[in-house]
Structure 1
Amino acid sequence: MKNIANYDANTKTIHVFVALCDNKYQGIVPVPKAIGNGQDPANNLYWGCAYGIKGYFKKSKEWKLL
């Protein structure tokens, strides 16, 4: 830890891993095709939709997308 002096204690980097909703592989009650495609994160129920993780963090003033 010889670079500890360069560490900014006020900045934190957090990685969020979101398992995407996928009608084909998930084995849940299917959702509409447009939001249930695990290969399309921009429109996925768990990530891209208005109430998905991306939308949640985008609305927060405490988080910054890098």
Structure 2
Amino acid sequence: MKLYIARATCSLAVQAVFNELNLAPELVHFDVFGKTTSDQSDFAEINPLLYVPALVLEGEDEPLI
């Protein structure tokens, strides 16, 4: 599972929940201003509105936003 997050956004709350549940998703950092991700993927394909957080589960075509 991949969790797309951005610095100083509401995605911090989702990270806190994952930490409390002892879950360790692959974190992909999204640069809100530069519109780039830490894994060089096209975030617009994941979420066309470019909102974080976005969660992509293994084997799923659509993200959970």
Shorter-chain TM-score tier: under 0.3
Higher strand proportion? 2
- The TM-score with structure 2 as length reference comes to 0.22
- The TM-score with structure 1 as length reference comes to 0.22
